Amino acid sequence: MDDGRPTSVAFSHSSRASSVYADEEEDGRGSEREEEHDDAEEAWGGEALPEEEVEEERGGGENEQSPLDRPKDGQAEDVWRSSISTVTLAAIRDRYGAPEIRRQEAIHALCVTEEAFVERLTTTIDLFILPLRMQDSKHYIAGVPTDIAKLFDWLEDILNLHTQLLAALRRVREAQNPVVVRIAEAIRESFVQELEVYQPYLARLVIVADTIARLVGDETSDFGEFVRIQEGVQECRGWSLESLLVDPVTRLGRYPAIFRVSNGFFRF
């Protein structure tokens, strides 16, 4: 392929893990995903994986800059303060008070970290999903296990949701610069009301991640070889595929603290 995507591994048609997913009709996926919804709370208990567990699995130095690096919230807040003049900052404080300064910092941090997350998730899909699909098709090449193919499709749905949220945040900030007064409605309509997209992914992530780990450790697995190759490319920055798959769960678990509903920063 000449579009800059990583070259995929050609899987053997004799592989025991040959996928039948490519033969499924597109319209049939929705009903299968709905069947997974009931397992979501049982699989994850409604809680995100603790951040320290995710950090232990990550590779790469903290000082390296790439789409996979996370901007820290404190840094995002400093960027917001430095983006406006001292006079404007003082005027905002005088008119709205110190709580509004903290609110603007929280909004800016949300936008910056959301953009970094979307970039990171896009990189994950570019490295591990698109090379496994037939050209100009949503169907996967032979050798991709069906459960992994489904999880990858759900991950792409999650990317689409967060891309939608990011676009809404950008529109709000462009329309209300430098002080964002109304943002909760944009978050609710573009994101909160669509959170069911996460349910099938959460329900199956643990089981499918175990399958991926087993295949990666199997020297005879074509899929495992593909994952090992992609994990070694520079764009991956030392992250394992398993860690990248957990990333959306970690991000989801951060929103309650970001929104700070109890302090009135965002009201839904």
* Nearby residues of 262 by Cβ (< 8 Å), 6 or more positions away: none
Residue 22 lies in a domain: no
Supply the pLDDT for residue 56: 40
Residue 19 lies in a domain: no
Separation of CA 23 from chain center: 27
178 upstream amide cis, omega within 30 of 0:
yes
pLDDT, the chain, mean: 76
Higher pLDDT, 65 or 118: 118
Split at pLDDT 50, 70, 90, the class of 14 is very low
- The neighbouring-strand residues paired with 140 are 133
Assess if residue 2 is contained within a domain: no
The answer to whether position 165 is within a domain reads yes
pLDDT digits (tens, 9 = 90+) for 89-143: 888 888 888 888 888 888 888 999 999 999 999 999 999 999 999 999 999 999 9
Boundaries of domain holding 35: 31-40+67-263
In a domain, 46, yes or no: no
Q: Judge contact between 132 and 87, C-beta under 8 A.
A: no
Number of compact structural domains in the chain? 1
**% of the chain exceeding 90 in pLDDT:** 50
Banded model confidence at residue 257, pLDDT cuts 50, 70, 90: confident
**Lowest pLDDT segment from 88-97, 160-169, 247-256:** 88-97
Rounded to whole angstroms, how far apart are CA atoms 263 and 196?
Answer: 26
**Residue 11 located in a structural domain:** no
Q: Is residue 73 part of a domain?
A: yes
Q: What's the pLDDT tens digit per position in 32-41?
A: 434 443 443 3
* Contacts of residue 18, Cβ cutoff 8 Å, sequence gap at least 6: 11, 142, 143
Q: Residue 75 CB: number of other CB atoms within 10 A?
A: 12
Verdict on whether the full-model pTM lies above 0.85: no
Model confidence pLDDT, tens digit, residues 211-236: 999 999 999 999 999 999 999 999 99
d(CA 118, CA 210): 25
Average pLDDT rounded to a whole number, residues 187-216 = 96
Reference 124, options 162, 165, 67, 163; nearest CA is 67
**Mean local confidence (pLDDT), 56-66:** 40
Helix 146-175 with 198-216: angle, nearest 10 deg: 130
User: Domain holding 71: CATH number?
Assistant: 1.20.900.10
32, 174, 16, 178: which is closest to 91 by C-alpha? 178
Partners of 133 in beta bridges: 140
Mean pLDDT in residue range 7-21? 38
Average pLDDT over residues 155-160: 98
- pLDDT, greater one: 13 or 84: 84
In this prediction, residues 77-83 reach a mean pLDDT of 70
Q: Is residue 55 part of a domain?
A: no
- Distance of CA 212 to CAs 2, 139, 224, 237, Å? 28, 19, 7, 19
Q: 222 vs 45, which has greater pLDDT?
A: 222
Choose the weakest-confidence range: 26-30, 70-74, 196-200, 215-219: 26-30
Greater confidence, 76 or 204?
204
At 169, is the pLDDT very low, low, confident or very high (cuts 50, 70, 90)?
very high
